[in-house]
Amino acid sequence: MASTVKVLSSEADLTNTASNVSFAQVVRVHNLNGATKLLTVKDSGGNTLGTLSLANGEIINIRKNARDTLSVPAATANIKAVKIAHSY
């Protein structure tokens, strides 16, 4: 079954530079890298809140505070992120 999302920004690559993804509170993340990659969530002060492994092809929605950030390790390509309002 397809999910329904309200898209609030343009999709962009996540990098090793922390991004709040347009101050999103819900972010859709899609791993198109070809391998499992680590995703890090940090608070606005740079403190790590948690990490998770994102399998190749996996799509997840992450709920976070608007100023919390997402990042992936250096030299990681094709991890896409977009701000969404909700997902059903």
Mean pLDDT of 10-17: 97
CATH placement of domain 5-87: 2.60.120
pTM of the full predicted structure? Answer: 0.92
Model confidence over 32-78: pLDDT tens digits? 999 999 999 999 999 999 999 999 999 999 999 999 999 999 999 99
Instruction: State whether residue 51 is helix, strand or coil.
Output: strand
Where in the chain are the domains? 5-87
Helix (H) or strand (E) holding 69: strand 69-71
- Long-range CB contacts (< 8 A, 24+ apart) of 30-36? 30/58, 30/59, 30/79, 30/80, 30/81, 31/55, 31/56, 31/57, 31/58, 31/59, 31/78, 31/79, 31/80, 32/56, 32/57, 32/78, 32/79, 32/80, 33/76, 33/77, 33/78, 33/79, 34/78
